[in-house]
Amino acid sequence: MDDEVEVKTFEASIDDLTMTLKNPRTIKKKDFDILKKSIKNFPSMMKVREVVVDENMRVLGGHQRIKALQAQGKTKVLVKQVIGWTEEQKDEFLIKDNIANGDWDNDKLANEWDKAKLEEWGLPLKIASSGDYKELLEVSIPYYTPAEDAPEVDELADLSDVDRLMERIANTKCDPELSKILQVRAAFFADFNFQRIADYYTHADKKVKELMKDLGLVIVMPKEAYERGMCDFRESFDEE
């Protein structure tokens, strides 16, 4: 029963806390950097957003905040200890604490809030003048029927220009780090055959497919492309 639960709030050593191994929440480096900056610039926030732990000091809520504090050399954190929850209740909290409920009023965000500040604070939403970005993601794209057999790897791209540039870089005496930069730039001169790439992708194994999607070699759904950082939305459709 919830009325039998005991709650204590106190400062604890981060070393005394145990992370929940099955925590389903992840965070991208960009968002983690924003979190670290937020805690650094607004430290009193941690006084009203305690890390939630159970009777064994196992973390139920606040894993990323703890990591952000550790990254800044902090050793103490304010915790709210809950004593009396069942394992099922702890699992339920672990999930519910990471669910973002409700929708944003994009008109108010666009017209009444400072967009730069919103981004600095890590608001997980891009504002587009056409309205909710979710609507922009609900577009239909044509589907392509791939070939029955996978093409040979050398059919996926013409690398002759890349090879030529790589040879020039290798024959030019320059700083090793500069050489790496030049080699990365040389890769931009690859002439990809995206139709054959799509054919190859269809027959590839799961890990190769994920890698090809992460590198933007295949067409993905708009929502997935947005989440992978392959595209963004303009403030206005009149922008070049």
DSSP string across 120-135: HTT-S---BTTB-HHH
- Report yes or no: 50 and 80 within 8 Å, Cβ to Cβ: yes
Asked if the structure places residue 70 within a domain, the reply is yes
Asked if the structure places residue 12 within a domain, the reply is yes
Asked if the structure places residue 30 within a domain, the reply is yes
C-alpha to C-alpha distance for 22 and 195, rounded to whole angstroms: 40
> Residue 37 is part of which domain span?
2-96
Asked if the structure places residue 218 within a domain, the reply is no
Instruction: State the CATH number of the domain containing residue 10.
Output: 3.90.1530.10
* SS3 at position 41: helix
Pair of tokens at residue 143: 């589907």
Position 38 scores a pLDDT of 84
Position 78 scores a pLDDT of 93
Position 134 scores a pLDDT of 47
Asked if the structure places residue 239 within a domain, the reply is no
Position 45 scores a pLDDT of 82
C-alpha to C-alpha distance for 179 and 38, rounded to whole angstroms: 37
- Report yes or no: 190 and 162 within 8 Å, Cβ to Cβ: yes
Position 236 scores a pLDDT of 44
The structure's pTM equals: 0.46
Asked if the structure places residue 27 within a domain, the reply is yes
Asked if the structure places residue 162 within a domain, the reply is no
Enumerate long-range contacts of 120-125, CB under 8 Å, 24 or more apart.
120/34, 120/37, 121/34, 121/38, 122/31, 122/34, 122/35, 122/38, 124/31, 124/100
Asked if the structure places residue 184 within a domain, the reply is no
Report the domain count for the chain: 1
Point out the residues of the chain with pLDDT beneath 50. Answer: 1, 125, 127-139, 233-240
